[in-house]
Amino acid sequence: CYMLSMLAPERVVCGLDYDEDKISLANHCFLRKANISFLHADMVTCQMPQSDVFLFNDSLHYVCEASQKIVLEHCLENLNPGGMLIVRDGDATNDNEQRHIEETEVWSTKIIGFNKTVEELTFLTKDWMKDFANEHNLEIKIKKCDEKTSETLYILRRKR
């Protein structure tokens, strides 16, 4: 969030996280300016604000598939004309590449406890994202982020 706000000072950025400690830390950073805010909330149940962009950076896998769909649909309901949904997450299609991400998440959630979750990790697939895009009349661009993991970037916009 801080990087996005620094790259474009006119941009208004709101970060949302389930972890109250992370939100407290972010809210007290010396870099914080008027164009950035942080909210402690559950992405499944919170009311999404009207926005030009919704960005999910390695976060959707913390909720089940049904909740992932609910979250993305709530975003679509509050997406400004011309806006987009950007999702960066692992693609569970490739077991070998996905294994690295899943191992990292086990360390992060169960061993170290850096990230908090109450549900089992549920990674989406490229086909699931394509089906979601088709079901909601969205254009989708898919880009693999690196060669060693299944990290994938999905950019969704309403068809014109």
pLDDT band at 11 (very low <50, low <70, confident <90, very high): very high
- What pLDDT does residue 155 have? 98
Reported as a single tens digit per residue, the pLDDT across 93-138 is 988 888 878 778 777 877 777 777 777 888 999 999 999 999 999 9
Which among 65, 66, 63, 89 is positioned nearest to 155, based on CA atoms? 89
In this prediction, residue 8 has a pLDDT band, given cuts at 50, 70 and 90, of very high
Which residues does residue 88 pair with via DSSP β-bridges, in sequence order?
A: 57, 153
Q: Is the separation of the CB atoms in 79 and 51 below 8 Å? A: yes
β-partners of residue 138 are 158
Q: By percentage, how much of the chain surpasses pLDDT 70? A: 99
Per DSSP, the three-state class of 155 is: strand
Q: What are phi and psi of 26, to 5 degrees?
A: -60, -40
pLDDT the model gives residue 81: 94
Exposure on the CB side of residue 74, measured as CA atoms within 13 A: 14
- pLDDT per position as a tens digit, 83-101: 999 999 999 998 888 887 8
Strand 51-57 and strand 79-90: the pairing is parallel
How far are the Cα atoms of 97, 103, 115, 149, 151 from residue 100, in angstroms, in the given order?
Answer: 6, 5, 17, 6, 10
pTM of the predicted model, to two decimals? Answer: 0.88
CB 109 within 8 A of CB 117: yes
